[in-house]
């Protein structure tokens, strides 16, 4: 972990801050590119995971596109120079101004999540005398075997077009004169670590794709979403997910020739977020106070909080924590590591065994590069978190 190696350089900096390991980021993006290029897979980075501009520039340099979900994300990536053709736009609730922006920019595809959304995009494109490229985000009802808050492709979820409405959508699709139908989009959930989930998912997708092709809708675009998980328990041991195993699941189970039915073979797209950036980031904090609560627990208050990193409070997510100032031979103590914010949920870990922590010690919360800074808030009037880049200190 980077912070351990450069802790003396970090010492004078104002905490808390996100530390990004730009070298690990580059190596991770290289590894994805190597694997994806073998099959001509198109990669879009899910910008919601982390919208830091330097990270985005590295993504752009690798030739990847973007998966965005808001007008502001779209504006940012266009300003940074991402080609419109490399941008796809998902989300259950695109507003009219956001849709108009996407049409104006001529993005690769709106991944549409409802019948009404298709109608509205068609209407707005007509008003603008433009055509919009669309794909259908289908909810395939696959259990991603992950936390329920980050499961997005099951029957009871708000995402995608359901099996109940799919026939009607297919019947209506031909009548939208301002839409260019591209194909299908899916995203079943996040932090998926069992490759069998992706294998099963592929088989569902093949069946659905065939269903569309048989009805006279050739597919040029098949977007498999994101979801690949990272190792939160042992980030030092596994700083990069196994991208080969991930893409193998698709290589071996997504039979494109079978799908094409003799017609065009669809381009396969992915939208990875977490797997690209989670392990490149840490939240570095300082110990403010030690105390003991009435239950006898040792409580350590650090100067980071759920305002900077909400994952533990929101999902009870596990992040490894390290005392960067551990003294040799110091006892390991079971700590409640809590943040500064006035919320009982603002706790990073309970009963976590760590070498004794004292006021002023630097601590790092690992695997915080994805859904860390991008989910930060100003709650309790905190400032948005500072960022330190490994190659700028
Ligand atoms: N595509 C779509 C349409 C998505 O909604 C998402 C994530 C992704 C791609 C990227 O998924 P990934 O490769 O990162 O798993 N805040 C939660 C994660 C929410 C994910 C939302 N959608 C967390 O901190 O765990």
Residue 368 belongs to what domain range?
Answer: 279-392
Whether residue 283 is found in the same domain as residue 225: no
Tokens 């997510």 label which residue?
317
Among the three residues 244, 278, 312, which one is the final residue of a domain in this structure? 278
- Ligand 1 center to 393 CA (angstroms): 30
Whether residue 245 is found in the same domain as residue 286: no
pLDDT category at 150 given cuts 50, 70, 90 is confident
Whether residue 327 is found in the same domain as residue 220: no
Structural domain total, the chain: 2
> Is 376 domain-assigned?
yes
- Ligand 1 center to 95 CA (angstroms): 20
Among the three residues 222, 250, 278, which one is the final residue of a domain in this structure? 278
Whether residue 264 is found in the same domain as residue 288: no
Tokens 């049409």 label which residue?
103
Whether residue 130 is found in the same domain as residue 268: yes
Instruction: Enter the tokens of residue 21.
Output: 């390991």
Percent of the chain having pLDDT more than 70?
Answer: 100
Among the three residues 261, 278, 295, which one is the final residue of a domain in this structure? 278
- Dmax over CA atoms of the chain, in Å, equals 73
pLDDT (0 to 100) of residue 40: 97
CATH code for the domain of 189: 3.20.20.10
Q: In this structure, is the dihedral angle defined by the CA atoms of residues 54, 55, 58 and 64, taken in order, positive or negative?
A: negative
Whether residue 223 is found in the same domain as residue 339: no
Tokens 């759920």 label which residue?
306
The pLDDT of residue 151 is above 80: no
DSSP H or E run through 272: strand 267-272
The pLDDT of residue 148 is above 80: no
Phi, psi of 4 (to 5 degrees): -65, -40
pLDDT category at 46 given cuts 50, 70, 90 is very high
Rg of the chain over Cα atoms, rounded to whole angstroms, equals 23
Of 91, 112, 150, 190, best ligand 1 pocket probe by most atoms within 8 Å of the beta carbon: 190
Q: Distance between CA atoms of 78 and 91, rounded to whole angstroms?
A: 18
Residue-wise pLDDT tens digits, 29-44: 999 999 999 999 999 9
CB 10 within 8 A of CB 261: no
Nearest residue to 284 (alpha-carbon basis) of 352, 372, 202: 372
> Is 12 domain-assigned?
no
pLDDT category at 68 given cuts 50, 70, 90 is very high
Of 32, 43, 46, 110, best ligand 1 pocket probe by most atoms within 8 Å of the beta carbon: 46
Q: Give me the mean pLDDT over the 330-359 stretch.
A: 98
DSSP H or E run through 66: strand 65-68
Whether residue 345 is found in the same domain as residue 201: no
> Is 16 domain-assigned?
no
pLDDT category at 143 given cuts 50, 70, 90 is confident
Q: Which residues contact 56 (CB under 8 A, 6 or more apart)?
A: 45, 47, 66, 76, 77, 80, 82
Whether residue 167 is found in the same domain as residue 60: yes
Q: Quick check: pTM over 0.95? A: yes
Q: Give me the mean pLDDT over the 52-66 stretch.
A: 98
> Is 243 domain-assigned?
yes
Q: Which residues contact 196 (CB under 8 A, 6 or more apart)?
A: none
Query: Given the CA of residue 185, which atom of ligand 1 is nearest to it?
Result: 3
Whether residue 185 is found in the same domain as residue 235: yes
Task: Name the residue with the closest Cα to ligand 1, atom 5.
Answer: 187
- Ligand 1 center to 374 CA (angstroms): 12
Q: Which residues contact ligand 1 via a Cβ below 6 A? A: 46, 49, 67, 90, 150, 187, 190-191, 225-228, 271-275, 311, 371
pLDDT category at 138 given cuts 50, 70, 90 is very high
Of 28, 42, 43, 48, best ligand 1 pocket probe by most atoms within 8 Å of the beta carbon: 48
Q: Give me the mean pLDDT over the 83-111 stretch.
A: 98
CA atoms within 13 A on the CB side of 179: 25
| Beta carbons within 10 angstroms of residue 295's beta carbon | 7
Residue-wise pLDDT tens digits, 277-315: 999 999 999 999 999 999 999 999 999 999 999 999 999
Residue-wise pLDDT tens digits, 185-243: 999 999 999 999 999 999 999 999 999 999 999 999 999 999 999 999 999 999 999 99
- Ligand 1 center to 229 CA (angstroms): 10
CATH code for the domain of 342: 2.40.37.10
Nearest residue to 378 (alpha-carbon basis) of 289, 310, 286, 282: 310
Q: Distance between CA atoms of 215 and 187, rounded to whole angstroms?
A: 23
- The one-character DSSP state at 370 is T
CB 2 within 8 A of CB 282: yes
- In the chain, the DSSP E strands lie at 17-20, 42-46, 65-68, 87-89, 109-112, 132-137, 179-185, 221-223, 267-272, 281-292, 298-302, 321-323, 332-338, 347-355, 362-365, 386-389
Of 273, 280, 310, best ligand 1 pocket probe by most atoms within 8 Å of the beta carbon: 273
CB 321 within 8 A of CB 282: no
Whether residue 199 is found in the same domain as residue 323: no
pLDDT (0 to 100) of residue 372: 98
Query: Given the CA of residue 190, which atom of ligand 1 is nearest to it?
Result: 15
Q: Give me the mean pLDDT over the 95-100 stretch.
A: 98
pLDDT category at 263 given cuts 50, 70, 90 is confident
44: helix, strand or coil: strand
Q: Give me the mean pLDDT over the 177-190 stretch.
A: 97
The pLDDT of residue 152 is above 90: no
The pLDDT of residue 146 is above 80: no
The pLDDT of residue 365 is above 80: yes
> Is 11 domain-assigned?
no
């Amino acid at each position: 972990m980077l912070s351990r190696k450069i802790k003396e350089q970090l010492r004078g900096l104002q905490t808390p801050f996100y530390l990004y390991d730009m070298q690990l980021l580059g190596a991770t993006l290289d590894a994805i590119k190597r694997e994806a290029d073998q099959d001509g897979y198109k990669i879009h980075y899910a910008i919601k995971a982390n919208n830091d501009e330097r990270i985005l520039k590295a993504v752009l340099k690798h030739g990847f596109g973007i998966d965005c979900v808001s007008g502001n994300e779209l504006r940012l990536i266009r300003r940074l120079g991402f080609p419109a053709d490399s941008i796809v736009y998902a989300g259950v609730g695109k507003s009219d101004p956001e849709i108009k922006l996407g049409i104006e920019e001529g993005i690769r595809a709106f991944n549409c999540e409802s019948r009404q959304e298709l109608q509205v995009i068609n209407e707005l494109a007509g008003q603008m005398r433009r055509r919009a490229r669309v794909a259908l985000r289908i909810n395939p009802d696959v259990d991603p075997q992950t936390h329920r808050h980050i499961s997005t492709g099951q029957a009871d979820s708000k995402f995608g077009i359901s099996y109940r409405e799919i026939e009607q959508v297919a019947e209506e699709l031909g009548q939208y004169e301002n839409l260019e139908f591209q194909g299908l989009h899916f995203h079943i959930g996040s932090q998926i670590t069992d490759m069998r989930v992706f294998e099963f998912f592929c088989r569902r997708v093949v069946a659905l794709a065939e269903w569309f092709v048989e009805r006279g809708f050739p597919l040029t675009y098949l977007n498999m979403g994101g979801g690949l998980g990272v190792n939160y328990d042992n980030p030092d041991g596994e700083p990069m997910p196994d991208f080969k195993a991930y893409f193998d699941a698709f290589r071996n189970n997504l039979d494109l020739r079978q799908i094409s039915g003799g017609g065009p073979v669809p381009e396969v797209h992915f939208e990875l977020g977490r797997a690209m950036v989670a392990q490149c980031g840490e939240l570095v904090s300082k110990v403010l106070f030690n105390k003991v609560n009435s239950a006898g627990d040792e409580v350590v208050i650090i100067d980071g909080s759920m305002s900077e990193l909400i994952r533990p409070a929101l999902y009870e997510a596990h992040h490894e924590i390290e005392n960067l100032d551990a003294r040799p031979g110091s006892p390991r103590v079971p700590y409640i590591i809590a943040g500064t914010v006035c919320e009982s949920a603002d706790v990073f870990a309970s009963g976590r065994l760590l070498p004794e922590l004292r006021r002023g010690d630097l601590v790092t919360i690992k695997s915080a590069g994805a859904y860390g800074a991008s989910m930060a808030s100003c709650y309790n009037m905190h400032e948005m978190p500072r960022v330190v880049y490994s190659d700028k200190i």
